[in-house]
Amino acid sequence: MQKFFFFSLTLLLLFNYSYSQTRLPAFFGDNMVLQQLQKVSVWGTDHPRTKIQVSGSWGEKSMVTADDSGRWKLKLQTPKAGGPYTVVIKGSKQLVLKNVLIGEVWFCSGQSNMEMPLKGNLNQPVIGSNESILHAANDQIRFLHTPRSVSLTPLYDVKTEWKAASPLTAGNFSAVAYFFAKKLQQVLGVPVGIIQSAWGASVVESWMDKESLSAFHNKIIPDQLPVNNPNKTPAMLYNTMLHPYIGYTIKGVLWYQGEGNRENAHEYHALFSSMIHSWRKQWQQGEFPFYFVQIAPFEPGTLNAAFLREAQLNTMLTVNNTGMVVTLDVGERKVIHPAQKEVVGNRLAYWALARDYGLKEVVYSGPVYKSMQTADNGKLLLSFDFAGMGLNSFGKPLTGFEIAGEDKVFHPAQAVIVNDKSGMVRVWNDSIPNPVSVRYAFHNWAEASLFNTAGLPASSFRTDNW
């Protein structure tokens, strides 16, 4: 029955994109948000060789002729943020899109911590959700939710519609994406559009295309729809929940995923980096911002989560125009969905506001380990980036540091912030006279103790590669 449902859904979506009269993918619709000050892409289908004209009520229009298969695509110049506007598409028939806003558009994807709605999950709250929903009325924030679906081949449409934030709608929006949008809208004073496409427990491979996965020989794309766990199957979610949107003009991407890849954390850096590069290549918008959330501490397992967090940190350090939100201070030991979603959404917004919207005084990253040197009496000195105003533990002792000698056995270590040198920590253990390596919070479950003065936590890290 499940297999029949997915097959029927695939046929329905393909049929909806068939070449009849003028048609648009569902995300080009009433209440949509278009990226400001860009030549945004608009596309659809019509009878072959039909002349298409798209006009915006702000005074711009563009024309193209559908190809021999009936497909067409064009670029339409958008003005500064504002609206509402009307967009008219004239082909073999006329379509009118109403209440269109021009502003900032972000694509938000990943697994359950991105999918988790503002109202929370069963027995898993989002702190502040009730007040947030109560005061959610804001026509300048629009959401597009992507329903779960799978297909063996890439699709071109989804069944969805844009909705404005209100007490009646916001409870079902992604909590992280909502708080991000709310912060941007408050600070910038422009409309914000969020395209939400996430599936709980999904693995990064499921969001990658066939070409990208071909470099990983152990990733097999099935030739039949999976009966179980399609969200853990290579390319399945890419085909249905990403491919239709490729080309929709965006400002950038927000990503919250990783828990599903803890068991193959050693592959995650390569997989995740490849996914980012492939999305950018396919979108043809250059190296757009790609900001992601490091998974929060969670108890079960050995060191899998620590290695996964390390892979995410390495991705930020090696892939251009990426940024990472650290959540080491908001994890919950027994719950994989931390309740502090507003903290996460705000921290994503700091990256965007500082890096993409000119608010350069906003601190957007916690301390990032940079280098280690040996000091007197067997002590090690660690230095950090993103600690321009210094480091802080906010009145509490530094915890979570471990130190090892040449035997590679780690022991708990003492650590203090060096007050006379900005951005340094001294680490030692009196029983280890010749230490060679330090680890900080390098366990599945750990609690943050090291911050910068903006209150942003340092990522877990290690100086060894053992």
Tens digits of per-residue pLDDT, 68-125? 999 999 999 999 999 999 999 999 999 999 999 999 999 999 999 999 999 999 999 9
Q: What span, in angstroms and rounded, lies between the C-alpha atoms of 239 and 258? A: 20
pLDDT confidence of residue 423: 84
State percent of the chain over pLDDT 70. 95
Q: What span, in angstroms and rounded, lies between the C-alpha atoms of 309 and 225? A: 31
CA distances from 6 to 9, 48, 109, 112, 230 (A): 5, 30, 21, 21, 10
Q: Select from 440, 434, 436, 435 the least CA-distant residue to 417.
A: 440
Express each pLDDT in 169-195 by its tens digit. 999 999 999 999 999 999 999 999 999
Strand partners, 104: 192
Structure tokens at 282: 């396919």
Contact 48, 113 (CB under 8 A): no
Range 403-429 average pLDDT? 93
Beta-carbon contacts of 410 under 8 Å, excluding residues fewer than 6 positions away, are 402, 403, 404, 437, 439
456-466: burial string, b at 16+ Cβ within 10 Å, e else: bbbbbbbbeee
Structure tokens at 321: 């125009």
Q: Which residue has the higher pLDDT, 135 or 299?
A: 135
Is residue 224 predicted with pLDDT exceeding 80? Answer: yes
CA neighbours closer than 13 Å in the CB half-sphere of residue 332: 13
Express each pLDDT in 358-377 by its tens digit. 999 999 999 999 999 998 88
Could you tell me whether strands 162-165 and 138-145 are parallel, antiparallel, or unpaired per DSSP bridges?
A: antiparallel
Is residue 126 predicted with pLDDT exceeding 80? Answer: yes
User: Within 10 Å of residue 422's Cβ, how many Cβ atoms?
Assistant: 15
Is residue 15 predicted with pLDDT exceeding 80? Answer: no
Could you tell me whether strands 51-56 and 82-90 are parallel, antiparallel, or unpaired per DSSP bridges?
A: antiparallel
pLDDT confidence of residue 11: 43
Q: Which amino acid is at 165?
A: A
Q: Which amino acid is at 345?
A: G
Range 290-296 average pLDDT? 98
Express each pLDDT in 297-352 by its tens digit. 998 777 999 999 999 999 999 999 999 999 999 999 999 999 999 999 999 999 99
Q: Is 183 exposed, middle or buried (0-12, 13-18, 19+ CB in 10 A)?
A: buried
Contact 269, 315 (CB under 8 A): yes
Contact 294, 326 (CB under 8 A): yes
pLDDT confidence of residue 13: 45
Express each pLDDT in 417-456 by its tens digit. 997 767 899 999 999 999 999 999 999 999 999 999 999 9
| Banded pLDDT at 20 (limits 50, 70, 90) | low
Q: Which amino acid is at 121?
A: N
Structure tokens at 167: 């007490």
Q: Is the dihedral of CA 365, 370, 372, 375 positive or negative?
A: negative
Structure tokens at 365: 């990253």
Q: Give the rounded distance of the alpha carbon of 185 from its chain centre.
A: 18
Q: Give the rounded distance of the alpha carbon of 274 from its chain centre.
A: 15
112-134: burial string, b at 16+ Cβ within 10 Å, e else: bbbbbbbbbeeeeebbebeebbe
Q: Select from 466, 405, 414, 408 the least CA-distant residue to 440.
A: 414
Structure tokens at 337: 């969905």
Q: What span, in angstroms and rounded, lies between the C-alpha atoms of 439 and 411? A: 10
Q: Is the dihedral of CA 219, 221, 227, 229 positive or negative?
A: positive
User: Within 10 Å of residue 196's Cβ, how many Cβ atoms?
Assistant: 25
Q: pTM for the complete prediction? A: 0.95
